[in-house]
Amino acid sequence: MENRTKRTLIASAAGFAAGLDAVRAAKFKPKKKEYPALPEENVNVERYTETLQAAIRCKTISNIDMSKMDKNEFIKLHNLLRKQYPLMHEKLKVEDIGFAALLYTWEGTDPSLKPIALLGHQDVVPITDGTLGDWKHPPFDAVIDDGVLYGRGAIDMKNHLVGVCEAVETLLEEGFTPKRTVYLCFGCNEEIVASPESQAELISKTLESRGVELESLLDEGGGLLNMKIPGVIDKNIVGIGIGEKGNVEFRITVPGDGGHSSAPPKHTAAGKLADVIKDIENHPFPVRVSPEIKNVIKILCENVEFPVRLLTVNYKALMPAIVLAMANIKGASSLMRTMQAVTMLEGSPQFNVLPKNATAGVNFRIIPGEHVSDVEKHLRKVIKNKDAVIEFRGGNEPSIISPTDSRTFNLISDLVGSMSDRNVIVPFIVMGGTDARHYQNICSQLYRISPFQMDFEIVFTSHGTNERIPVSSFHDGVAFFKRYIRKLSSE
Ligand SMILES: [Zn+2]
C-alpha cells in the first residue's frame, strides 16, 4: 500500500475513534477475572539459588555436531541434581535417554488418568565470538551482583529446569503424592533448532512407544514481562504461548556456465542470483490477522491507561490501522506473517573463476495457518528466473494451536493471575522454536511459559551478552511450579 493511502487510513480511523464517547473511555475497566487467593507457599530460595548457580557453572553448550558437545558437563549437571534433590532421585524413576537427555517418571496413584509433563532443556547457546569481554561477570561463573544473577542459561532456561526440580523436591518433602503421573522431560539440544537428532523428540518417541498419551505439557516460551511506559501502560504482561511458528529452510540455486573470468557473460550466476534475492525480498508474505492476534490487540488496547484509551477503547474500528502500524514495526510484524530471511550465499571459490552455480539459503518462520507447501508456492510465484532451482532443505511445520479453555490453561491463568493485580494474561504465538513441538504426537495441549517476573530489557539478554535474572523472581517462580504440579496432578 502506498504511504499516502496508509496515512489517510490511519488518520481517518484515529479521527473516528477520537470522536467516540470520551466518558466511556475514561470509565472503561477491562473485565477483570476474579482469581482465587493462594495460600503462602513454602520455597527454599537458598537451595534453589545455590543449585541454579552451580547449574550455570556446568558448561552444557549445544553444538549441531553432537560429537563436539562435552558430555562431562552434562554429567556434572546430572550429578548436581542428584546431590541437591535426593528425594526426587529416590522416589522418581530416572532414565538416561540418548546423548544426555533425562526422563523422570513420578508415578501417580490413579493409572486411569492421563499423565502430565513438564519440559526443560539442559543445553545453552555458546558465547558469541568477540563478546566475552563485554560480560559484566564471566558467563559461567554465576555471580550475583546487586540482586541479579549473571550467567549463560540464567533465563534460557536453567532457571526453569532447576525450578521444576526444586518444586518436586519440596513437594516430596511435604509428603505429596500425585494421583496423575508426572513426567519431567529434560532434553539436551533444544538450541539446535533444526537438529535432525533432537533429543526431545527421542524422549517423546520413547513415551509414545510405551503408549503414553499426555493430558498437557508445560515448556518455556512465554513469560511475565513488566511493561511500564509512563502514561501509556503499567502492567505485567503474562504471555502464555499456545502455539509456535514453523521453521524451514530452502536453498535456491541459479545455474551458470563457469569458466575463466576473462571472458564472462553479461550476467554471471551470481548476478542472476542477485535478481532472485530481490524478487524474494520485494515480496514479503501477506499479513494474516488471525483470531489469536486479534485477541492480543484487544487485550493490550483494553489495558492501556487513560487518556490513551480514548483512542484504543474502540479497537474494533481501529483494527485496520493498528494492524497496518504493526505490520511496519520490526518484531510486531513477525507476529502476523510468515517471515523470510536470505541468510547464506555461495558462488565461485575464487576471484578469477566464474561461478558454476550460485546459491542462496533462505530461512522462513511460518505462521500457524500456513504450511511449507505455501512457502514453496510463494517462491515459485515471485522468482521470475525460471531456471532457478528451489529446494526444500528441511525444517518443521507450524505447531498446532492449543485450547484456551482447557483445565491446564485455566490453571496457569489462575496461578499467574492471582500473583499480582497488575498481571494481564495474553495467549500468543511464540516466534522462536521450543522443544514442545516434538511432543505433538502424544499431546494436544502444549503451553509455554516461564513463571519468572522480569523487565523487558532482561528478556532480550537471552542468547546474548549479560544474560541474567533478578533474584527477586525466584520465590514466585518455584511457588508457581509447586502449585501447578500439585493441582494439576491431584485430579
Ligand atoms: Zn530455551
Distance 191 CA to ligand 1 centre (A): 6
23 pLDDT above the threshold of 70:
no
Distance 321 CA to ligand 1 centre (A): 34
Domain stops at, among 364, 396, 428 = 396
* Whether residues 311 and 357 fall in one domain: yes
Distance 325 CA to ligand 1 centre (A): 30
Q: Give the pLDDT score at 28.
A: 64
Q: What is the CATH number of the domain that holds 308?
A: 3.30.70.360
Distance 186 CA to ligand 1 centre (A): 11
Strand order in the sheet with 148-150: 144-145, 148-150, 468-470
Whether 441 is in a domain gets the answer yes
Whether 36 is in a domain gets the answer no
**pLDDT mean over 287-310:** 84
Q: What percent of the chain has pLDDT over 70?
A: 93
Distance 315 CA to ligand 1 centre (A): 34
* Whether residues 322 and 386 fall in one domain: yes
Q: Residue 404 and residue 222: Cα distance in Å, rounded?
A: 14
* Whether residues 386 and 407 fall in one domain: no
Distance 434 CA to ligand 1 centre (A): 7
Distance 237 CA to ligand 1 centre (A): 20
Distance 469 CA to ligand 1 centre (A): 14
Q: Give the pLDDT score at 31.
A: 63
Are the C-beta atoms of residues 399 and 476 closer than 8 Å to each other?
no
| Statement: the pTM of the whole predicted model exceeds 0.75 | yes
Distance 250 CA to ligand 1 centre (A): 24
Are the C-beta atoms of residues 364 and 250 closer than 8 Å to each other?
yes
Whether 200 is in a domain gets the answer yes
Whether 123 is in a domain gets the answer yes
Q: Identify the residue whose cell numbers are 495474553.
A: 426
Are the C-beta atoms of residues 326 and 272 closer than 8 Å to each other?
no
* Whether residues 315 and 277 fall in one domain: yes
Asked which of 24-28, 170-174, 286-290 is least confident by mean pLDDT, the reply is 24-28
Q: Residue 444 and residue 142: Cα distance in Å, rounded?
A: 37
Q: Give the pLDDT score at 54.
A: 98
* Whether residues 335 and 243 fall in one domain: yes
Distance 256 CA to ligand 1 centre (A): 42
Q: Residue 102 and residue 184: Cα distance in Å, rounded?
A: 8
Q: Residue 488 and residue 171: Cα distance in Å, rounded?
A: 13
pLDDT band per the 50, 70, 90 thresholds, residue 27: low
Q: Residue 35 and residue 226: Cα distance in Å, rounded?
A: 20
Whether 34 is in a domain gets the answer no
Whether 37 is in a domain gets the answer no
* Whether residues 142 and 179 fall in one domain: yes
The 3-state DSSP class for residue 442 equals coil
Non-local (6+) Cβ contacts of 7 within 8 A are none
* Whether residues 107 and 8 fall in one domain: no
**Cell numbers given for 404:** 484456551
Structural domain range at position 323: 3-29+229-396
Q: Give the pLDDT score at 21.
A: 54
Distance 121 CA to ligand 1 centre (A): 7
24 pLDDT above the threshold of 80:
no
Are the C-beta atoms of residues 364 and 370 closer than 8 Å to each other?
no
* Whether residues 366 and 417 fall in one domain: no
Q: What is the CATH number of the domain that holds 482?
A: 3.40.630.10
Q: What tens digit of pLDDT does each residue of 202-244 get? A: 999 999 999 999 999 999 999 998 888 888 888 999 999 999 9
Q: In terms of pLDDT, which residue wins out, 30 or 97? A: 97
Distance 130 CA to ligand 1 centre (A): 22
- When computed from its CA atoms, the radius of gyration of the chain, rounded to whole angstroms, is 25
* Whether residues 63 and 166 fall in one domain: yes
Domain stops at, among 338, 365, 396 = 396
pLDDT band per the 50, 70, 90 thresholds, residue 394: confident
Domain stops at, among 396, 425, 440 = 396
Whether 110 is in a domain gets the answer yes
Distance 306 CA to ligand 1 centre (A): 37
Whether 416 is in a domain gets the answer yes
Q: Give the pLDDT score at 29.
A: 65
Are the C-beta atoms of residues 116 and 490 closer than 8 Å to each other?
no
Q: Residue 323 and residue 260: Cα distance in Å, rounded?
A: 51
* Whether residues 175 and 73 fall in one domain: yes
Distance 113 CA to ligand 1 centre (A): 29
Sort residue 289 into left (φ over 0), alpha (ψ -120 to 50) or beta. Answer: beta
Distance 402 CA to ligand 1 centre (A): 20
Average pLDDT over the chain reads 91
In the chain, the number of structural domains is: 2
* Whether residues 321 and 307 fall in one domain: yes
Q: Identify the residue whose cell numbers are 495457518.
A: 369
Distance 126 CA to ligand 1 centre (A): 13
Distance 376 CA to ligand 1 centre (A): 29
Distance 461 CA to ligand 1 centre (A): 12
* Whether residues 252 and 385 fall in one domain: yes
Distance 314 CA to ligand 1 centre (A): 37
The 3-state DSSP class for residue 365 equals strand
